[in-house]
Amino acid sequence: MARSDIIFLHAPSVYDFRKKAIMYGPISDVIPSSPVFEMYPIGFMTISSHLEEAGFRTRIVNLAVQMLQDSKFDVEKRIRSLEADVFAIDLHWMPHVHGATEIAKLVKKYHPGSKVEFGGFTSSYFWEELISRPEVDMIMRGDTTEEPTVQMMKALQKGGDLSEVPNLIWKDEGGRVRNNGLTYSSDSLDDIKFDYGTMIKNALRHMDVKGALPWCGWDKLPLTSVFSVRGCSMNCAECGGSSYANGKAVCRRAPAYRSPEKLAEDIDIIQSYLKTPIFIVGDIRQHSDNYAERFFKAAKERRIKNHIAVEIFTGAGDEYFSKLDKAFEGGWSLEFSPDSHDEAVRTALGKTYSNEAIEKSVESAFRNGCERFDLFYMTGLPFQTRESALDSAKAAKKLWSLVEKDDRLLIYTAPFAPFVDPGSMAFEEPEKWGYRFFARTLEEHKSLLENPSWKHVLSYETKWMDRDMIAETSYDAAIELAVMEYESGRIGEEDLRRKKERTETARMLLHRVDEIVAISDAAERERRLWEMKEEVSQMKPEVCDKDGLAWASGSVWRNFPRVLSGLVRSSFR
């Protein structure tokens, strides 16, 4: 197998989840990936693009996807077969801490002479604890690490001085930890390369499509994304991507934006490869109204025919939505996360818009051509009582009454799981936000992930709801939402029965795990958990109807002629 200069490895949330008696619940119901969290960060693609341009040979290997697709997939054999000077493992969000650190051990076992590097938000926050692990050689801190990584690779291959690489934590030949400081944070995203062609070329070069997939099933229903910003101007208390958290973890003082023209170009490049929905990360109004106007103009000039999904962080009206409708020939959809319909809870979190603003946004969006509107609520928030969480589900009935029955207003409710994000205001000042944590360190979070049910994995409970109540309320809210959907005339009796039955099955399984965990005999407890896991593997214990998250698009294979054409055109860019 051809040697690479650097291989990017993505681990499952827990290694090896196939060999552990864990009953996953609704912890990933509102994201594309499974509870294994097999979706790797887009930084794999952007960093690879910069390294490839600098002459380095890169590869992306998504171990989590391959483990999901094949129960007999031999992870150790695959790692042993790989050859690289550096193995880069992402630890961006905390739910990957178990898998990432265990995979790092395997890399060191089979490649003791190679460097193991970590990067991502969680790596940046917990760098001191992470670098103390013997299997970790380097940590790249920060959120715009494309160029520092190029500098790191040049220093390693040409005998340069690693102490001159910004943001790098590393061990010298004597094993002493060296900290170069977190000094590099780009104030613009215009020099960063967002090109899906890198991922495609990577897969073709190594004849490894499965290993390069962003998440399981992406090849059949691909969804792509572009980034308008890194960092955020919002300061939501529980969010690890908030302005406060960015300052705490990666020393980002202000958001870094992609210029509107570059953003439109990114979308145009994607549509040259794939006819797939494209999600714009970040509210494009976040910078300014002028930013949005320039983007709409650039998008119209490039004749964007792919479907576009847009985020809004606050309410919007006819003027904004009509401009969206005119900008994209392939149609558009919206993503909105009020988190709670309780204005007191939402305001405390830092989202100060009113329920009236939400309602007007829903009406206006569909009045101006919106094809789909996803709206998300959560259970387990600061200042949220059980009644408040259930009221959010009940509020869906009014929202559905504002639109036509065939309008695709999709409303979701799910637990805030599994962890409160490190670096967020709620994590840093738990008493202020009414939280009590079961984990504070990297190792404590890792240990939680080995618990047999999602309730026991939760890193928190609140002053208003303990772990048990958060779990029970999550199921009750799901049932309430289904009832509201039925009473709104959007589903029939059979669909209501199916949704209720699915939720009650998930609840029953949780209760059975509680009973088994209480067994004092360890061997008997493990035997019963394994029996139950085999039974659960035939079920679908979700709270949300996850199928609703799928976007209609042609498979990668149907897009293959376009992919080849896009690759030819990319060679001239």
Residue at 548 is within a domain? no
Angle between helices 355-367 and 386-401 (to 10 degrees): 30
pLDDT digits (tens, 9 = 90+) for 534-558: 777 655 555 555 455 555 666 655 6
pLDDT digits (tens, 9 = 90+) for 511-541: 999 999 999 999 999 999 998 887 776 555 5
Mean pLDDT value across residues 371-391: 97
Predicted confidence at residue 30, as pLDDT, reads 58
CA distance 342 to 354: 9
Residue at 466 is within a domain? no
SS3 of 535, please? helix
Q: Are residues 234 and 173 in the same domain?
A: no
CA distance 144 to 147: 8
Q: How is residue 407 written in tokens?
A: 């309008």
Q: How is residue 175 written in tokens?
A: 């094993």
Q: Are residues 167 and 295 in the same domain?
A: no
Question: Taking the CA of residue 325 as centre, how many other CA atoms within 13 Å lie in the half-sphere pointing to its CB?
Answer: 15
Residue 464 in contact with residue 433, Cβ under 8 Å? no
> Hey, CA dihedral for 255, 258, 261, 266, is it positive or negative?
negative
Tell me which of 29 and 111 has the higher pLDDT.
111
Q: Are residues 171 and 229 in the same domain?
A: no
Predicted confidence at residue 567, as pLDDT, reads 47
What letter represents residue 53's amino acid? E
Q: Are residues 236 and 151 in the same domain?
A: no
Give the CATH number for residue 9.
3.40.50.2300
- In the DSSP assignment, the letter for residue 206 is T
Q: Are residues 143 and 264 in the same domain?
A: no
Q: Are residues 151 and 230 in the same domain?
A: no
Residue at a domain's end among 164, 179, 194: 179
Cβ-proximal residues to 168 (8 Å cutoff; 6+ apart), any chain: 138, 139, 140, 141, 148, 152, 162, 180
Predicted confidence at residue 452, as pLDDT, reads 92
Predicted confidence at residue 2, as pLDDT, reads 79
pLDDT digits (tens, 9 = 90+) for 263-273: 999 999 999 88
Predicted confidence at residue 558, as pLDDT, reads 61
Residue at 502 is within a domain? no
Domain count, the chain: 2
- In the DSSP assignment, the letter for residue 421 is P
Q: Are residues 151 and 268 in the same domain?
A: no
Torsion, Cα 45 14 92 163, to 10 degrees, reads -90
Residue at 23 is within a domain? yes
Q: Among 33-42, 201-210, 419-428, name the one with the lowest average pLDDT.
A: 201-210
CA distance 385 to 396: 18
Residue at 501 is within a domain? no
Predicted confidence at residue 559, as pLDDT, reads 59
pLDDT digits (tens, 9 = 90+) for 156-211: 998 889 999 999 999 999 999 999 999 999 999 999 998 877 777 777 777 777 77
Predicted confidence at residue 23, as pLDDT, reads 79
Residue at 52 is within a domain? yes
Distances (CA, A) of 223 to 41, 158, 283, 556: 14, 39, 18, 10
Residue at a domain's end among 179, 209, 237: 179
Predicted confidence at residue 493, as pLDDT, reads 97
Residue at a domain's end among 162, 179, 196: 179
Residue at 205 is within a domain? no
CA distance 465 to 449: 21
> Hey, CA dihedral for 131, 135, 141, 143, is it positive or negative?
negative
- E-assigned strands of 297-408? 308-312, 332-339, 373-379
Q: Are residues 70 and 158 in the same domain?
A: yes
- In the DSSP assignment, the letter for residue 85 is E
Residue 259 in contact with residue 201, Cβ under 8 Å? no
The model carries a pTM of 0.92
Predicted confidence at residue 536, as pLDDT, reads 75
Predicted confidence at residue 573, as pLDDT, reads 55
Q: Are residues 254 and 363 in the same domain?
A: yes
Mean pLDDT value across residues 113-123: 97
Q: Are residues 39 and 170 in the same domain?
A: yes
Mean confidence (pLDDT) of the chain:
91
Of all helices (H) and strands (E), which one includes residue 90?
Answer: strand 84-90
Tokens 């799928």 belong to 550
Torsion, Cα 315 252 98 56, to 10 degrees, reads 110
Mean pLDDT value across residues 118-137: 98
Q: Please, which pLDDT band fits residue 240 given cuts at 50, 70 and 90?
A: very high
Q: Are residues 31 and 167 in the same domain?
A: yes
SS3 of 310, please? strand
Residue at 203 is within a domain? no
Q: Please, which pLDDT band fits residue 212 given cuts at 50, 70 and 90?
A: confident
pLDDT at 118 over 90: yes
Q: Are residues 144 and 64 in the same domain?
A: yes
Mean pLDDT value across residues 315-320: 97
Residue 78 in contact with residue 52, Cβ under 8 Å? no
The whole domain housing 241 covers 223-414
Give the CATH number for residue 288.
3.20.20.70
